[in-house]
Structure 1
Amino acid sequence: MTAAPAGYRVVEVPEARKAELLDVDHLAFAFEPDAETSAQVPMTLEWDRTVGVEAPDGTLAAVHGSFRLVLPVPGGAVPCAGLTWVGTRPDQRRRGLLSTMIDTHFARSLARDEPVSALYAAEPGIYGRFGYGSAATNVRLTVPRGAALRPVPGSDALAVRFEKLDADGHGPLVQRVHAAAGSGRPGWITRDTDALRRKHLADPPAWRDGAEPLRVVTVLAGDEPRGYALLRRKETWTDGQPAMVVRMHDLAALDAAAAHRLWSVVLDLDLTSAVETPMLAPDDELLQLLVDPRGPRPRVADNLWLRVLDVRAALAARRWSAPVDVVLDVQDARLPANAGRWRVTTGEPGPDGTWDARVEPTHEPADVALDVRELGAVYLGGRSLGALGRAGLVTELVPGTLHRASAAFGWPLAPVCSWAF
């Protein structure tokens, strides 16, 4: 574990030091919210999981926190430490404070029996050196109004309601449908604290960029919500013609019919010219339903970054898409307990056609060698071990084993988290 630099010390940050923490955060991320925005947006940090590094004069030089999350993984779920609010004062950089905070985060997470940590990377070049792998991808589309969709049975029978968002009234609906819509998709983390749920529906004027307040589109079968979309429109006219852009904040649907009905409405609102989607999985229903896949303009970005903290617990918690018996030689420079050879052996298939596995340390010869960063990248089933092997990042030591291991690690649905924490 990296010790704090001389004169610095790691401390827990209680709520009583909230103002100091916010000062570090605002300096690190170059923003300062106005009083109205601060009053409307709840503080989401969990104070028993908030840590800082004090400078020799006792002031906070750097801070970080983590959320107590449940991470859906292939065929299951694991406790997960969601690393967040990582920031260092500009005048305290280049002193090793981030290394100290990351090692502290790892130790505290393992003490809480959280075998994985996840984050969204403000700068993607930072976290790989700490063993985080890019485990998921999201896509945002700009879709022209009127884009045609392939038909889906049952879509026309669903009703639609278009309203101004009422955070208190619509909050339970959003939470319930969002959780159900992600069933079976790795990475689909839900917002499980009141503060996270309220922040997701917060709508201060400073966040609108001149657009309208948030609206909610609800798809219903009778009185039962089957999907929702949160969006806003910004009035724009070009040469006397309406050219509003629909900016989507969030969307979730329980089935193909609900997804089709939602997109049918959103893609054909009066006075609009285009729709900007929220973060979508690379295999989202919309990308399957578009008649003209060339029409939208896609923007692809990294989504969740994942760090395996306990190899044995993490690998045993997920299901496997094919039978496999493979010895992985894992390198981990920061957590020596992970480093070494691990034998992954699947058992009997379950009724869903997937396998569980035993994961044990072994002295047997290794079949595949990889760093813990690549193990994190493939853990959710959205990256291919074989592709990483072709890139020179994974080494096949016994011919044929990389193919079998790649098939076992894979998963039918691409991982994604639909919101940033």
Structure 2
Amino acid sequence: MTTPPAGYRFVDAKDRQEEFFDVDRMAFGMTSEPEVDAVVPVTLDWDRTLAVEDARGRFAGVHASFPFTMPVPGAAVRTSGLTWVGVRPDHRRRGLLQAMISAHFERSLSRGEPVSALFAAEAGIYGRFGYGSAADDVRLTLDRGAALRDVAGSSDLTLRLDPLDPAVHGDVVDAVHREAGRGRPGWITRDTEVLRARHLVDPPAWRRGGEPLRIVTVSAPAADAAGATGTRTPAGEGEVRGYALFRRTERWEHGRAGSTVTIRELAAVDAAAAHRLWSFLLDLDLTVTVETAMLAVDDALTHLLVDPRSTTTRLQDNVWVRLLDLPAALSARRYAAPLDLVLDVTDDRLPANAGTWRLRTTTSDAGAHVAEVERTSAPADVSVGVRELGAAYLGGRSLAAMQPAGLAVEHTPGALVAATAAFRWPLAPVCSWGW
């Protein structure tokens, strides 16, 4: 069992919650806002929190995790979502983060979670612990009136705009979000009431001068109500096919309107719903720009834009993945092509993952290939670090592209091309919300 550095000890945090939060406020430079704290629910599972206490009995570092089920290519895997990691500024550089990450690995493995995932506050930190950047997202800034390609059926959908009411819209948002991400690796759903509630809160302090959150939904005609999500709008129209949560921030300059539309989340179950939502958001009166939420790099909007050069695009790392139990993790996902590969894996922090492994696909399941992973003494076809395997795990990174950077070494000609073809997936991975 991991032990923290001398003079520190691990302690349960559940009975000292305010101390837990205070460490993160110090680590991230945040302040407590009573009007926000009063309405924003705490999402932590306190049985999955852990603190490091110093010799004086004060918390010096904290971390927690969520019990997620993360979609992976062709399947899903139990995943420990690392969160709320912080060390007091006056206790940095003493090995506390290393001890907490090691404890997180051990606790996750003891719960049968072969994968860990996170959103990195600082991208330079977690690679040294074996997390690989497994997905990107794009955030677009568009001018009002940006032209879209036509999509059949878009104009037939019913559109409704309302103030967001979590009691009314919560089930709709959850159902459509689940369906919209079906089959997309990384698309973690909000599986507890508190996570769903947290996503829809809107305290005034978060609005930065904007209006309260609004929701626009698009629905099929009532006669076509039987469909994918089984949800209806509050007014009883047909099945809801998509929604967007957004706000406008009013601005005027020299007598001319210059308001911005800021989208918190948009989810659509088909092309017609996506087109109808974007058409509405890109043509709101008195607005000049639209700022999207984080989107998959292959999101429908990127294909619908007539002139993609007219947008300002920001690419950013999305979810990071760490393989904790390598054979369990690699055998949990499916592969896009047959593969018989011997991997020589390095993992300095979890030695049980290190060494040579044979990954061999056996049967085909709906066009995807099931793999067995076992120890072998056979010579390696490819040498790679566990960080790079984590980056490739969701199907969004090319192992072959890592070779010119020296991050993957090919011993058998053609092995990296074959591995890349098998690991890649038709849909780009993304998680649409951060935890």
Please say whether Structure 1 and Structure 2 have the same fold, judged by a TM-score greater than 0.5: yes
CA distance in 2, matches of 1:66, 1:60: 18
The 3-state SS of whatever aligns with 2:394 is coil
Partner of 2:400: 386
For residues 129-278 of structure 1, the aligned pairs below 5 Å read 129-221=128-220, 222=222, 223-278=238-293
- 3-state SS of 2:98 partner: helix
Distance in 2 separating the partners of 1:131 and 1:25:
23
Unaligned ranges ≥5, structure 1: none
Partner of 2:416: 402
The percent identity for this pair of structures is: 61
Pairing 1:304–2:319 present: yes
Counterpart CA distance in 2 for 1:239 and 1:192 is 48
Deviations 1:293-327 (A, max 9, x none): 10110001000010000110001111100111000
Partner of 2:306: 291
Q: 1:350, CA displacement in angstroms?
A: 2.5
What is residue 98 of structure 2 aligned with on the other side?
A: 99
Match of 2:348 in 1: 333
Aligned mates of 1:410, 1:25 — CA distance in 2: 37
What does residue range 354-365 of structure 1 map to in structure 2 within 5 Å? 354-365=368-379
Residue type of the partner of 1:224? E
Paired AA for residue 328 in structure 1: L
Please tell me the residue identity of whatever aligns with 2:369: W
> What does residue 17 of structure 2 align with?
18
Residue type of the partner of 2:256?
A: Q
Q: In structure 1, what is the equivalent of residue 44 of structure 2?
A: 45
CA distance in 2, matches of 1:45, 1:349: 39
1:59 Cα shift? 1.1
Quote the Cα distance in structure 2 between the aligned partners of 1:259 and 1:305: 27
Does the 8 Å CA contact 1:159/1:220 hold for their aligned counterparts? yes
**1:416 corresponds to which residue?**
430
Deviation at 1:2, TM superposition (A): 5.2
Deviation at 1:224, TM superposition (A): 0.7
Maintained 8 Å contact 1:2/1:99: no
The AA in structure 1 aligned to 2:190 is R
Distance 1:349 1:56 in 2: 56
Superposition TM-score, scaled by structure 2 size: 0.95
How do 1:13-92 residues align onto structure 2 when only pairs under 5 Å count?
Answer: 13-14=13-14, 16-92=15-91
| Structure 1 consecutive aligned stretches of length 4 or more whose deviation exceeds 4 Å | none
Q: Deviations over 1:83-122 (max 9, x none)?
A: 0000011111111000000000000000000000000000
Contact kept, 8 Å, 1:329 with 1:339, in 2: the verdict is: yes
3-state SS of 2:77 partner: strand
TM-score normalised by structure 1 residue count: 0.98
Instruction: Please tell me whether residue 281 in structure 1 is matched to residue 296 in structure 2.
Output: yes
User: Is the 8 Å Cα contact of residues 140 and 278 (structure 1) preserved in structure 2?
Assistant: yes
**CA RMSD of superposed structures (Å):** 0.8
Unaligned runs of 5+ in 2: 223-237
